[in-house]
Structure formats: C-alpha cells, structure tokens
Amino acid sequence: QANRLFYLALPPSVFKPVTSMLKAACMSPTGWTRVIVEKPFGKDSASSADLSDHLQKLFSEEQLYRIDHYLGKEMVQNLISLRFGNMIFGPTWNRDSIASVTITFKEPFGTQGRGGYFDEFGIIRDVMQNHLLQILCLAAMEKPVTTSPDDIRNEKVKVLKAIPSLSLSSCVLGQYCGDPDSDHPDARLGYLEDPTVPEGSSCPTFAAAVLKINNERWDGVPFMLKCGKALDERKAEVRIQYKDVPGDIFNGGTVRNELVIRVQPDESVYVKVMTKTPGMSFNLQETELDLTYKSRYKDARLPEAYERLILDCFVGSQMHFVRSDELAEAWRIFTPLLHTIEQDKPQPIKYKYGSRGPPEADTMAMQNNFVYTGKYNWTAPVHT
C-alpha cells in the first residue's frame, strides 16, 4: 500500500494547475492520497468559493486538509478540554456571567522588508479572518456530541452562522509609523518606508473588530478580535472578562475576574481572582490561580503546531482542519468589510512602532464592556 501526502506551500495563483496535475498524474493507486492546502484560501467569498469548487471537483472533503497552524497550538487545542472537561467553567460560560471576550494577537516587529507581499493581503486576511476567528469558534461553540472531527466542526459552523457580517463602523484600523527615538534601526522605519510597500498604501497593519453572536448563549456579549504588527510585545491570548460582582460589600474594592488562556509565549491558563491581603488587614488584592506549563510540566515537550497537524494528516484526523462550509462562513463575515476597505481606502490611524496600537482601539474596547484597571499585570513564573 503506497500512500501519498502533498503539501501545497505555493502561491494561490498556481493552486488550480498544480492540483489538476496532481489529480491527473499523482494519485496513489493502492493507498490514500491527501492534500494539505496552506492559506490564503482565496481573498474574499467569491475567490474562496471558486477555489473550493475547483478542489471539490478533484478531491473528496476527506482528502482535503486546509491547514491553519493556530489550530495546532497547545493552548488552542486545550480550549475544548478546559471548557467541556471542567464543571467549574461550564455554568458561567455564557451571557449571564461574562461581560466580554477579547482575542489578541501581537507581534513586536514590522514587515521586515516583506511589506510588498503583506500589502496584497493586510492584517485582517493574514491573521483575523483565520487564526483569531478559529479561536473564537472554539471559545464560543456549544458542546459537541462527541470529539469526532465532524461533530466539532459542525458546532463551529453553527457559531459562525450566528455572527452577522462585519462593517467598518465596528472596526479600528491602524498603520505603524517609525519611532525616531528608538535605538533599533527597524523601529525607526514606518510601514510606508519599507521599500517593497506601494507608495501611499492605506493597508492596515493593525485591526480591532467587535463581533456579535446572535444566539441564546452569547446574545449581547461582545467578542473583540485585535491583531497588529510593530506593537509593544509578542502575545496571543484569549481574555474572558466576567461581570462585576452583584451586591458589592467591599466598597468598590473588587476588580472583575478574568480567565486568560495564553497561547504564546509562555503557554498558560490563569484566573484573576480577588483575595484578602495577607496579615491583619482586611483589604482586597488581585492575584491569580496560575497554570503555567513550563512550571507545572517541566519535562513536557510541546510539539510545534505544524508538527501536530502534519501528524494528523498522516493518521487521517481532520479535527484541527478547516472544512469547506466553515471557510465559506468565515469569508461571509469578513468580505463586506474587506471590499469596503479596498473600495473606499479609509486612512488607517497612525500608531508608533513599539506602542500598544491606536488608542481608539482601547476606547472601542471600553465601549464594549471591557474594563481595564491597569492595577495588576501577570508575569510568567521564573523557571528553574
């Protein structure tokens, strides 16, 4: 039995001819044939549907593996276990207890001379429409009947169908400019100073968007997706902020609880809670219940995301891959926004390299039930 696995790490412009030739000349006569397709899966609903139609004429859904490497990350895969394997989270995982959900992706560097390629797609297509939306699905979906790939993907599709398409009024777009006072030569250059970027480009390098889920569990709870380049740190996380404690007896001394799933770096799960200060005082202080993987699982080896996903392809598990109807719904949500940006070319808000991004994004978060106190910052435990 000879099995064949093809990985299409190719420009989208050649997907069609290459897959046609694979079908014509390279299918295994005695075993299975599987095809891994890298993003971007098109640029909007129409181009994605065109590519999907082409691939589905050549291969069955069981042969197609649309890879999103964020679905191979330890803490993203852990979302299902945390949610559905623990009674402590289930009863509060809804609109009655949760004020807002924020899913964040930050990179501390710019385009590094590859701005010409990035400019074709922008931060929304590069990160938000795929990586962050996939995390949203896992955080918001209902409990699947089983852990089989199709049962999980069925629930993800249901969540996506409940999300209205995005408009520009629900977004903040930014573009980084250089910091002339920085000691780092890259940081002194703005996006438009990358020689590969078209002159006067209005392509966003930062985006924040508020999505709503129109279903019984999440009605009224804002899901905020934030992503950007040339920001103040490297970080990817899910931050679930709970509502204020009703009937406050501590004279306003309480701060909202937060459950944070940190995807990278320093993979961890921590819960911000209120506790009494040690000693004679009866004041409150904010602290955390912390599961940092490097401290708790010192000898554990966490495989790279691609390592997990390619192994899944070998064994035929599609749990962590994107199904065609899932992809179509994702593009339905973002296509109107992307077309508006391309046609109207709104000027993105400038933000300094190494900053938190445009202050307008923080204002939008506050307007959508996220409370930032700034009193407490989690730091990863020191590993010995």
What is the set of active-site residues?
131
Q: Which tokens belong to 106?
A: 């930050």
Q: Are 369 and 210 in contact (CB under 8 A)?
A: no
Burial classification of residue 364, based on how many CB atoms lie within 10 Å of its CB (0-12 exposed, 13-18 middle, 19 or more buried) = buried
CA distance linking residue 271 with residue 214, whole number of Å: 27
- Joined together, the tokens standing for residue 143 give 């409990």
Residues in the chain: 384
Backbone phi and psi for residue 315, each to the nearest 5 degrees, phi listed first: -90, -5
Q: Verify cis geometry, omega within 30 degrees of 0, for the bond prior to 91.
A: no
Give the span between the Cα atoms of 197 and 133, in whole angstroms. Answer: 27
Task: For 246-285, give one letter per residue: b (16+ CB within 10 A) or e.
Answer: eeeeeeeeebbbbbbbbbbebbbbbbbeeeeeeeeeeebe
**176-211 burial string, b = 16+ CB within 10 Å, else e?**
bbbbeeeeeebbebbbbebeebeeebbbbbbbbbbb
Rounded distance between C-alpha atoms, residue 146 and residue 81, angstroms? 12
Q: Is 164 helix (H, G, I), strand (E, B) or coil?
A: coil
